[in-house]
Amino acid sequence: MFFFILIITSLNCKEVYNPPTVKNNPFLLVVDGIIFSGNDSSKITLSRTKSLTDTAPQIKELNARVSVLGKSGVEYPLTELGNGQYEADQLLLDNSQQYQLKIITGDGNEFRSELNNIHPSPPMDSLYWVQDSAGVHIYVNTHDPTNNTRYYRYEYSETWEYLSDFDSFLIYINENNIIPRSLANQIYRCYQYHNSTNIEVTSTAKLSSDIVYKYEAAFIPTGSIKLSALYSTLIKQYAITVDGFNYWTNLKKNTEQLGTLFDLQPFSELGNIQCMNNPDVKCIGFISFTTLQQQRIFINKNDLIAWNYQPYYGKCILRSEALGLISIDFQPPGGPYGNSLIGQGIDTAKMNPGPVYFYSTNLCVDCAYNGGSPLKPSYWP
């Protein structure tokens, strides 16, 4: 049996800067998202700003009417998904036309982004990773032979596989009903997901050629559970305008100081969205029209050197109980709420060897107790 020690490290605290401009909450509309042309869905999230001192959950904007409006008058509605999200699937936009995002909120205000052309993004040349003492860096190389893109934005969606300490082959229902665990009900291997929240933009405007070389699109610190088994990230690349680049660069500086996009920001450049019926009503957000380029990369823990992962479950103990006594260990308070059945066998360490059931705590057996899901993603090898 292997024993693991959970190392608890202290966290560094940062003092939050609260400028005078955030003391009052103007309840501004926040628009987050990108409109894609092509075989990719476009998703827009609407919410309202809140004070940095406000501990209430984010306020999502519900029951809005959202659409993509062409200069020619053609209009493509987005479907409300709930929780402030609105989506359109596969918008096949005309590259010769200009488009804008149109929003009518529940209070009757109409917002529109500036009319804009579709800015196609060139394909990514390569996606690769490098390990050093700090962790694993994931880099992107790309270029535009026409020298027309110049401004890029990156996001990522990451998935990682992780394992519990013990694999369970039995399910305890009651003392008279212990059944084999099917593969569909396995709880040893789980998957977790995370979308990037950092703002990642870069520019080649000062270079003679439109080449992005070794741009760090994602980073995994040494020891992270993300690389305890198998890790994957889908890197997404968008072309943006110079105005979009300036907006996201300024927003990045503010959010790194003050919190998130959904907190009240003290900068004057609010984006390219205006209220059509009342110029005094402001909105935060910048809408770009582009095409999506993306690549996926997998990283196996066996390809790493000295990762130093410390398991989330700490020190796990394999316990055993005679066949006729196992129900004692599966009754409250230590029962189904604390233990998971593992399997059946012979405990040779006992004074009177014989058939026994093996079990351990849920945290050591059921990987879902760490927040993941045992459902394998469709793109997983």
Q: What is the pLDDT of residues 51-82, one digit of tens each?
A: 666 667 779 999 999 999 999 999 999 999 99
Is there a domain that residue 300 lies in?
no
- Beta carbons within 8 Å of 249's beta carbon, 6+ residues apart: 201
Could you tell me the residue range of the domain that residue 97 belongs to? 23-118+244-250+258-287
Beta carbons of 242 and 294 less than 8 angstroms apart:
no
Q: What is the pLDDT of residue 58?
A: 79
Q: What is the pLDDT of residue 21?
A: 39
Q: What is the pLDDT of residue 3?
A: 30
Residue that the structure tokens 């690389």 belong to: 227
Mean pLDDT for 148-173 is 97
Distance CA 263, CA 277 (A): 25
Shortest CA distance to 57 belongs to which of 44, 66, 65, 47? Answer: 47
Confidence of residue 23 (pLDDT cuts 50, 70, 90): very low
Shortest CA distance to 48 belongs to which of 106, 88, 101, 100? Answer: 106
Among 97-106, 264-273, 336-345, the minimum mean pLDDT is found in 264-273
Mean pLDDT for 175-199 is 95
Confidence of residue 18 (pLDDT cuts 50, 70, 90): very low
Q: What is the pLDDT of residue 48?
A: 94
Among 141-145, 176-180, 208-212, the minimum mean pLDDT is found in 176-180
Q: 108-139 burial string, b = 16+ CB within 10 Å, else e?
A: ebebbbeebebbbbbebeebebebeeebbbbb
Shortest CA distance to 152 belongs to which of 221, 92, 187, 199? Answer: 199
Confidence of residue 9 (pLDDT cuts 50, 70, 90): very low
Does 8 score more than 70 pLDDT? no
Mean pLDDT for 372-377 is 98
Average pLDDT across the chain, whole number: 89
Is there a domain that residue 71 lies in?
yes
Is there a domain that residue 217 lies in?
no
The encoded tokens of residue 155 equal: 């996001």
Is there a domain that residue 341 lies in?
no
Is there a domain that residue 140 lies in?
no
Is there a domain that residue 35 lies in?
yes
CB atoms within 10 A of CB 23: 11
Q: What is the pLDDT of residue 253?
A: 85
Q: What is the pLDDT of residues 205-254, one digit of tens each?
A: 999 999 999 999 999 999 999 999 999 999 999 999 999 999 999 988 88
The CATH number assigned to the domain holding 112 equals 2.60.40
Indicate the number of domains in the chain: 1
Shortest CA distance to 66 belongs to which of 86, 95, 83, 48? Answer: 86
Distance CA 286, CA 284 (A): 7
| CA 137 vs CA 10, 30, 131, 233: distances in Å | 24, 31, 6, 12
Is there a domain that residue 82 lies in?
yes
| Percentage with pLDDT > 70 across the chain | 87
Question: Taking the model in full, what pTM does it have?
Answer: 0.86
Is there a domain that residue 315 lies in?
no
| CA 208 vs CA 120, 143, 150, 240: distances in Å | 20, 12, 10, 19
Q: What is the pLDDT of residue 336?
A: 62
Q: What is the pLDDT of residue 325?
A: 87
User: HSE of 141 in the Cβ direction (CA atoms, 13 Å)?
Assistant: 7
Confidence of residue 137 (pLDDT cuts 50, 70, 90): very high
Distance CA 367, CA 188 (A): 6
Q: What is the pLDDT of residues 267-321, one digit of tens each?
A: 556 899 999 999 999 999 999 999 999 999 999 999 999 999 999 999 999 999 9
